[in-house]
Chain A
Amino acid sequence: MRVTVVAGNPVMRAGLDSILRAQGFETDAVSEPAAVARLFGGDAPDAALPDAVLIDAVAADADAVGKLLDALPTHTAVVLLDTRGEAAWALHDGGRALLPPTATAEEIVTALRAAAAGLIVVHPALAAPRHAAPSPADASVLTARELEILGLLAEGIGNKSIARRLDISEHTVKFHLSSILAKLGARSRTEAVMLAARLGLVML
């Protein structure tokens, strides 16, 4: 199976690359999502397209990751290493895996194989819904983009309209949305707006 590793941090990139090669995968390694998106967007011969993409999304720009996810054919397995986002994002699409950056080599390889088989994989550390009330510390970590989307959520419009308004893809909107829900401990868009209003993050 051919896997493209996307990781900005060179140590992470080398580490993931060697883990996969040791398990018999054919690999390519790039430093940013845009490099892979270009590969899929162009006239690259099918033989060059990877079966799976392993993305270290921790420090990656969410918009860039979103654009990459848009560009990938649906049968491409995607494994994301991230601290943001929550199970709901992964559950919306098949062939996806969501792992924390602390995942072991074995977990990453297992997730890759499962995602390539069309399964959805969620690490327990990321699957548990947040029960605690949001603390100001969590909410202050909302990015400027997330606050922008929160404001649009308060208008009651759907993901497609949000995507159009901000000139980003619907995939990216969903990605930001699951991050917002996780950070605020909200279970729905409406609850997210209410919780954000209580924290003074959104004007009513």
Chain B
Amino acid sequence: MTGDLLDTLSHQMTGLAGHMAASVVAVHGGSGPPSSAVVWRPDLVVAAEDRLDADDRITVRAPDGRSLTATLVGRDPGTNVALLRLAGDAGLVPVVAGDAGTLRVGQAVLAIGVRDGGAAVAAGIVHSLGAGWKSRHGGAIDRLVRLDLRLPPALEGAPLVTGDGRVPGVVTSGPRRSVILIPASTIDRSVDQLVAHGRIRRGFLGVAMQPVRLPEAMRAGRPDAAATAVLLVDVQAGSPADAGGLLPGDIVTAFDGTPLTDPRDVFVLLGSDSVGRAIPISLLRGGAPVEATVTVVERARR
């Protein structure tokens, strides 16, 4: 009976909203409306990094309206995670993380956050699933999960909730108006690093670069026949690039097997997962192809 189906569906959705009440908060940091954030671990709240302008003056409100004191532990623009630490016992409950790897295309899901001083819910389904990808700010996202769900600004950073009450990740707007999930495993990695170091490690090569047009003759063999690559204008003495034998004037065409068309590509590839790795570099020196290996170090604290 249609009536029964609607009642059952409503009953479950309102139940999940109630279940999440002690685990979501509203966060306001600077310009723009407040967004949602989720209690990830005891006293640690994960919020959407790009919604927080300022490092200080971040206000957090529980759904019951209480104002909570929170300090910023650190930011990971690559995964859009900002980590906040709550002062004192706020009486909030961390979510139970789910595995984004078990999501199925077409699965019904809810984004549950806070808006206008109370709980807010957006409902949708998993639209598509794909392999891990690199965000434009250099973060390694474990899976590509697109959601068919309308996400108002107030629900940016809200947890995604599956029927079993678990949270496989946090919702955020992705490129080209898409709504995507940042998987729980990705968030855990960012949170671990931020708790330990207050920041996300970046890889360091020791090069200054500019984009450069490749002559016709040198474009052959590149998967997309891309017309630009990366010119090294400076190599820092004693740096990994120096140790790897790179020279100013070298035109780098691939990094770790990935073709490069712009220094931006290098920025994206030097995320925390690059630190300590020996990375193959393909380059052109005086027009001739050369292969080199560079061991990336952590961008140093001076």
A binding-site residues for B, Cβ under 8 Å = 88, 91-92, 154-161, 165, 170, 188-190, 193-194, 197-204
- Known contacts A156-B77, A204-B207; 12 further A-B pairs (Cβ under 8 A): A91-B30, A92-B53, A154-B299, A155-B300, A155-B301, A170-B55, A188-B77, A198-B209, A198-B264, A200-B233, A204-B266, A204-B267
CB distance from B33 to the nearest CB of A (A): 14
Contacts of A170 in B (CB 8 A): 55-56
Given contacts A88-B53, A91-B31, A157-B199, contact A204 B72 (CB under 8 A): no
A158 engages B299 (CB within 8 Å):
no
The reply to whether B199 and A156 form a contact with Cβ atoms under 8 Å apart is yes
B262 contacts A198, C-beta separation under 8 Å: yes
B54 within 8 A of A: yes
Contact A194 B264 (CB under 8 A): yes
**Is there an interface contact between B234 and A203, defined as CB atoms closer than 8 Å?**
yes
Task: Determine whether the beta carbon of A158 is less than 8 Å from that of B208.
Answer: no
Are B210 and A200 neighbours in the complex by a CB distance under 8 Å?
yes
In the complex, the answer to whether B55 meets A204 with C-beta atoms within 8 Å is no
* Contacting residues, chain A, for B206 (C-beta < 8 A): 203
Q: Does B200 make an interface contact (CB < 8 A)?
A: yes
Chain A positions within 8 Å of B239 at CB level: 203
From the candidates A155, A159, A198, A203, name the one contacting B55 in the complex (CB within 8 A): A159
Residues of B within 8 A of A (CB): 30-31, 50, 53-56, 72, 74-77, 137-138, 198-202, 204-211, 233-234, 236, 239, 262-264, 266-267, 270, 299-302
Nearest 5 A/B pairs, CB to CB? A200-B208, A190-B77, A156-B199, A198-B263, A200-B233
What is the chain A residue whose CB lies nearest that of B137? A190
Residues of B within 8 A of A203 (CB): 204-208, 234, 236, 239
What are 17 A-B residue pairs whose CB atoms fall within 8 Å in the complex?
A: A154-B202, A155-B199, A156-B77, A156-B200, A157-B198, A188-B77, A189-B77, A197-B209, A197-B264, A197-B266, A197-B267, A198-B211, A198-B264, A200-B210, A201-B208, A203-B205, A203-B208
Interface majority SS on B: helix, strand, loop or mixed? loop
**Which chain B residue lies CB-closest to A191?**
B137
A204 contact from B50, B198, B270, Cβ within 8 A: B270
Q: Which residues of A contact B302 (CB under 8 A)?
A: 165
CB distance from A17 to the nearest CB of B (A): 34
How many whole Å from B279's CB to the nearest CB in chain A? Answer: 13
- The interface residues of chain A lying within 8 Å CB-to-CB of B233 are 200
Q: Which residue of B lies closest to A202 (CB)?
A: B208
Inter-chain contacts of B264 with A (CB < 8 A): 194, 197-198
B81 to chain A, nearest CB (A): 12
Contact indicator A156/B75 (Cβ below 8 Å): yes
Could you say which of B74, B202, B267, B300 has the most chain A C-beta atoms within 10 Å of its C-beta? B267
Cα A202 to Cα B50 with chains together (Å): 23
Establish whether residues A194 and B199, one from each chain, have CB atoms under 8 Å apart when the complex forms. Answer: no
Docked CA distance A90–B296 (Å): 39
Write the nearest CB–CB distance from B3 to chain A, whole angstroms. 50
Contact B202 A156 (CB under 8 A): yes
Q: How far is the CB of B259 from the nearest CB of chain A, in Å? A: 17
**Considering only CB atoms, which chain B residue lies closest to A189 in the complex?**
B77
Please report the C-alpha to C-alpha distance between residue A115 and residue B208 in the assembled complex, in whole angstroms: 43
CB closest chain-A residue, reference B78? A190
